[in-house]
């Protein structure tokens, strides 16, 4: 598959704070990527570097196979809807959309109008009159209608209620199905968006700690629950890496690295230990835990 | 009825495959009938189309669905029987084993379970 974005050893510091530490990654054309990370992990910095809104201290960015920094031709093929847009407060939604249409070469004005209707966004309203939720809707309308080869949403559903978020996910899938292209979606709402993503990119403190299909990421760990004494015995005998554990009375639930050895799996039923998969959100919490590994030390 | 909810605890693509199988099993989808497209499945379940495609590909590999180029996916002849055989094999591990485990926790004698099943069958026949 074609690489749409290739990043090599990208670093960015703000004074003494390292926002990105020698980050490398490669995105393939035509996928929906989830960009996940705790606050301050470097997500927004990364997006700003991709779109030349910021410049890196070192490293390289290639867009569509070309050098990416300040490459106007390549940047025209990207629509990035940041968390905060700086549209003129007195400008009406209709005018903002007209500007967007002149800015993005593949912008579909009819579709933008249809989306305004679908999300009940009144095009006559001035930007400053929009609530947080409607501001998000405007970004969604521009991002989807741009039909750009690479569309980036930073927290697209901020301030949207559950119905609005559901409508966004559905609209995104329908539009993506019809016109497959690449999306990067940065979000904190992992549980509700995990099924939308094909791959997830997980950042922690400025570094890439995991990037794989959501399906594969979910296979990396598993929750075992049952009698604490039996679990502890099993975990130490098979030297399982315990990512986290919760104890209550004689019972314990341990998240352990997967896959488990076949012999271990075979013992579970007899020991009355239940096995359940881990959601992407739980995996994310384990992976980005600042103190990850402390439980492993306790057990081993 | 088609189940419209997916379970967060299991692989999404496996559930997509199972739901299509369920429909074939209940004859909601007949042999040589076209199955919903990947995009329709993705929209219905609010999932990435690649995931829906993976579920459908699994059934193609197993010979339950076949592809007609340019048109879509169809239910293979003999798919109903094939699923029946496969599911029957799974029945004991998937349903009976957990039941026996729970019965053990509750100190229910296996003979009690046998008696219950016999009485149910008796009621069904009368």
Q: Are residues A49 and A183 in the same domain?
A: yes
A111 in contact with B, Cβ within 8 Å: no
Q: Give the span between the Cα atoms of B53 and B56, in whole angstroms.
A: 5
A229 in contact with B, Cβ within 8 Å: no
A279 in contact with B, Cβ within 8 Å: yes
Burial of A158 (0-12, 13-18, 19+ CB in 10 A): middle
Q: Are residues A170 and A280 in the same domain?
A: no
**What confidence score (pLDDT) does residue B3 get?**
53
Q: Are residues A180 and A239 in the same domain?
A: no
A173 in contact with B, Cβ within 8 Å: yes
- Give the global pTM: 0.87
Q: Are residues A212 and A230 in the same domain?
A: no
- Prediction ipTM score: 0.82
State which residues form the domain around A294: 219-299
Nearest to B48 among A32, A174, A191 (CB): A32
- Residues in chain A within 8 Å Cβ distance of B51: 195, 198, 215
Query: Which residues sit opposite A257 in a β-bridge?
Result: A221
Q: Which two tokens stand for residue A44?
A: 């927004």
- The CATH number of the domain holding residue A257 is 3.30.70
Q: Are residues A39 and A107 in the same domain?
A: yes
Q: Are residues A137 and A23 in the same domain?
A: yes
Q: Which has the closest alpha carbon to A276: A258, A295, A299?
A: A258
Q: How far is CA B22 from CA A64, A164, B16, B29, in A?
A: 43, 32, 10, 9
Inter-chain residue contact A173 with B51, CB threshold 8 Å: no
**What confidence score (pLDDT) does residue A83 get?**
84
Inter-chain residue contact A198 with B47, CB threshold 8 Å: no
Q: In angstroms, how far is the first alpha carbon of chain A from the final one?
A: 42
Q: In angstroms, how far is the first alpha carbon of chain B from the final one?
A: 29
Inter-chain residue contact A170 with B51, CB threshold 8 Å: no
B97 in contact with A, Cβ within 8 Å: yes
Instruction: Give the total number of structural domains in chain A.
Output: 2
Q: Give the span between the Cα atoms of A67 and A62, in whole angstroms.
A: 5
Q: Along the 300 residues of chain A, how does pLDDT read in single tens digits?
A: 689 999 999 999 999 999 999 999 999 999 999 999 999 999 999 999 999 999 999 999 999 999 999 999 999 999 999 988 779 999 999 999 999 999 999 999 999 999 999 999 999 999 999 999 999 999 999 999 999 999 999 999 999 999 999 999 999 999 999 999 999 999 999 999 999 999 999 999 999 999 999 999 988 899 999 999 999 999 999 999 998 899 999 999 999 998 899 999 989 888 889 888 888 998 899 889 875 444 444 443
**What confidence score (pLDDT) does residue A86 get?**
78
Q: Are residues A202 and A244 in the same domain?
A: no
A212 in contact with B, Cβ within 8 Å: no
- The CATH number of the domain holding residue A21 is 3.40.50.300
Q: Are residues A85 and A103 in the same domain?
A: yes
Inter-chain residue contact B97 with A269, CB threshold 8 Å: yes
**What confidence score (pLDDT) does residue A6 get?**
97
**A43 or B2: whose pLDDT is higher?**
A43
């Amino acid at each position: 598959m074609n690489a749409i974005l290739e990043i090599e050893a990208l670093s960015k510091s703000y004074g003494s704070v390292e926002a990105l530490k020698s980050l490398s990654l490669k995105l393939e054309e035509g996928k929906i990527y989830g960009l996940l990370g705790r606050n301050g992990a470097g997500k927004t910095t990364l997006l700003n570097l991709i779109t030349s809104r910021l410049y890196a201290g070192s490293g390289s960015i290639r867009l569509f196979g070309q050098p990416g920094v300040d490459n106007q031709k390549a940047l025209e093929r990207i629509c990035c809807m940041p968390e905060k847009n700086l549209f003129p407060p007195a400008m009406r939604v209709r005018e903002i959309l007209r500007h967007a249409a002149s800015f993005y070469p593949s912008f579909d004005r009819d579709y933008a109008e249809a989306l305004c209707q679908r999300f009940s966004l009144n095009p006559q309203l001035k930007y400053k009159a929009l609530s947080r939720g409607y501001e998000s809707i405007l970004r969604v309308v521009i991002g989807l209608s741009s039909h750009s080869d690479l569309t980036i949403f930073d927290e697209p559903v901020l301030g949207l209620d559950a119905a609005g978020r559901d409508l966004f996910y559905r609209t995104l899938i329908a539009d993506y199905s019809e016109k497959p292209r690449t999306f990067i979606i940065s979000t904190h709402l992992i549980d509700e968006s995990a099924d939308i993503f094909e791959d997830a990119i997980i950042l922690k403190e400025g570094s890439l700690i995991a990037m794989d299909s959501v399906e594969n990421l979910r296979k990396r760990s598993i929750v075992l629950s049952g009698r604490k004494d039996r679990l502890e015995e099993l975990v130490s005998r098979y030297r399982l890496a315990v990512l986290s554990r919760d104890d209550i009375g004689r019972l314990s639930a341990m998240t352990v690295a997967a896959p488990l050895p076949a012999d271990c799996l075979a013992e579970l039923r007899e020991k009355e230990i239940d096995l359940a998969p881990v959601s992407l959100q739980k995996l994310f919490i384990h992976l980005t835990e600042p103190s990850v590994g402390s439980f492993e030390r306790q057990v081993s | 009825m088609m189940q419209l909810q997916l379970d967060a605890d299991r692989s999404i693509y496996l559930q997509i495959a199972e739901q299509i199988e369920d429909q074939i099993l209940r004859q909601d989808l007949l042999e040589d009938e076209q199955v919903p497209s990947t995009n329709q499945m993705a929209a219905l379940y609010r999932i990435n189309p690649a995931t829906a495609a993976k579920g459908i590909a699994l059934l193609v590999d197993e010979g339950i669905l076949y592809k007609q180029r340019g048109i879509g996916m169809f239910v293979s002849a003999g798919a109903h029987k094939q699923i029946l055989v496969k599911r029957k094999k799974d029945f004991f591990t998937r349903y009976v084993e957990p039941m026996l485990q729970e019965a053990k926790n509750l100190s229910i004698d296996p003979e009690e379970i046998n008696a219950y099943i016999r009485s149910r069958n008796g009621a069904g026949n009368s």
